[in-house]
Structure 1
Amino acid sequence: MTRVFWVRHGPTHAKSMVGWSDIPADLSDTARIERLSAHLPQEAVVISSDLIRASGTADAITGNRLRLPHDPDLREIHFGQWELQAFDTIADQDHLRAFWDTPGDIRPPGGESWFEVTHRVNTAIQRVMDSHPEKDIVAVAHFGAILTQIQKALRVTAYEAFGHRIDNLSVTELRHGTEGWKAHSINHRP
């Protein structure tokens, strides 16, 4: 069995759609970072998105764990022209609503669809599992990336996956065994 501990990066305090913009995380709550690190298995390998908010969070919690190189395939959804805009400032509100209400092939202008994000993240985590069989994995990533994995583990629609809260510095533990993916815990806050 493989356990993947999905950690959402530290808060950015941004009030807009932040996808591929490289905004750092606020990691000033050292007590919370220490609790998070202590909650994670010590023999796990640690991987993160290459965006600084995720890689910085991973560096803060790694401790003595094996730190793998950053992986750009673990990035957040690419919002394209919607990047760093507040929801209510998007001119085409029908397109925006369709993107969130019926996720699938719909993409922001210049961005990527839910199916593309899902494929990218699935491929990334499978590479880590293939390289480190039967090892626990700590994957520090983003809201959308984590939701793709929750959708897979729960066998629900993307819309249903979007109903899950994924707080900054929370842990979502998913397990892969003979019966496929299962969710052990979602949005745990150590």
Structure 2
Amino acid sequence: MADGINVELVVVRHGITAWNVERRYQGQRDIPLLFPEAEEGLLALRAGLADEQFDAIYSSDLHRCQQTLEWVQAAKPGVPLSLEPRLRELHFGEYEGKVYDELKDLPHYRAWIDSVGELQIPGGESAAQLRERLDLWLADVAADALANGYRKVLAVTHGGVIRELRRRFETIDFWEGTVLQAQGRRWELTYQPDVNGQGEWLCKCSSVVPVPVSEVL
């Protein structure tokens, strides 16, 4: 059996968009960041990650995540960067572009809410389908880390993705997994491959990104 590896995984959500402000479901619509509203959060995230040295970076290929990565300035020369469709937000299908008041009386929407995302959205995904593609991505992160010796990895993604990763690594309730724009989580992980070339990620600890000013002072 191959030796395991310790990886520090930092995962952050993109900055604010117009649809965030309007409380619209964005899903996989390619909505850009909203300026100047996004700037404060992005600058705080940049400052919080300024001293970090990442071995590899993965980003959702949607424009708002690529813009966030540019603002954070974490992508240094020589650091591998992968644009990753599997890090896209949950596909909200028929709900994309709509707000709660437009959906609240629809039976399938009420059923989806009551299922805490487990039902498949009409024309979109279920939470299980999101978890499936994240599992595939995490398997590739493990393979990349084992092959290249990565110890610290950054991922720029979406709120729903981070919610599911928090449920996986922190074993928290669905409703507790929310993170704000330009914020995220840091996980200290161990990956141990098994005899079949598969493996399991285990979380040793987690923390907020960026660290709140009150904890820095």
Higher mean displacement: 100-109 or 32-41? 32-41
Matched, 1:39 2:48: yes
1:121-176 Cα shifts (integer Å, max 9, x gaps): 222133123213342111100010001100001224xxx13323301101211221
CA contact under 8 A between 1:4 and 1:175: conserved in structure 2?
Answer: yes
Report the AA paired with residue 163 of structure 2: L
1:87-107 Cα shifts (integer Å, max 9, x gaps): 121275332233233235411
Matched, 1:150 2:155: no
Matched, 1:106 2:119: yes
Matched, 1:180 2:202: yes
RMSD: 2.4
Paired with 1:163 and 1:129, the residues of 2 have a C-alpha distance of 27
Alignment-derived partner of residue 59 in structure 1: 70
CA contact under 8 A between 1:47 and 1:58: conserved in structure 2?
Answer: no
Map 1:19-168 to 2 at 5 A.
19-26=27-34, 28=36, 32-40=41-49, 41-61=52-72, 62-64=74-76, 66-90=79-103, 93-103=106-116, 105-133=118-146, 134-156=150-172, 160-168=173-181
Report the AA paired with residue 45 of structure 2: L
**Secondary structure of 1:173's aligned partner:** strand
Alignment-derived partner of residue 215 in structure 2: none
1:63-117 Cα shifts (integer Å, max 9, x gaps): 4262412100000010111111111212753322332332354111110000001
Higher mean displacement: 136-145 or 20-29? 20-29
Task: Give the TM-score normalised by structure 1.
Answer: 0.85
Report the AA paired with residue 135 of structure 1: R
**Secondary structure of 2:71's aligned partner:** helix
Matched, 1:2 2:7: yes
Higher mean displacement: 102-111 or 30-39? 30-39
Paired with 1:31 and 1:10, the residues of 2 have a C-alpha distance of 9
Alignment-derived partner of residue 26 in structure 2: 18
Q: CA deviation at 1:60?
A: 2.2
Task: Give the TM-score normalised by structure 2.
Answer: 0.76
Change (3 A) 1:10 1:166: same
* Matched positions, count: 187
Higher mean displacement: 69-78 or 127-136? 127-136
Report the AA paired with residue 64 of structure 2: R
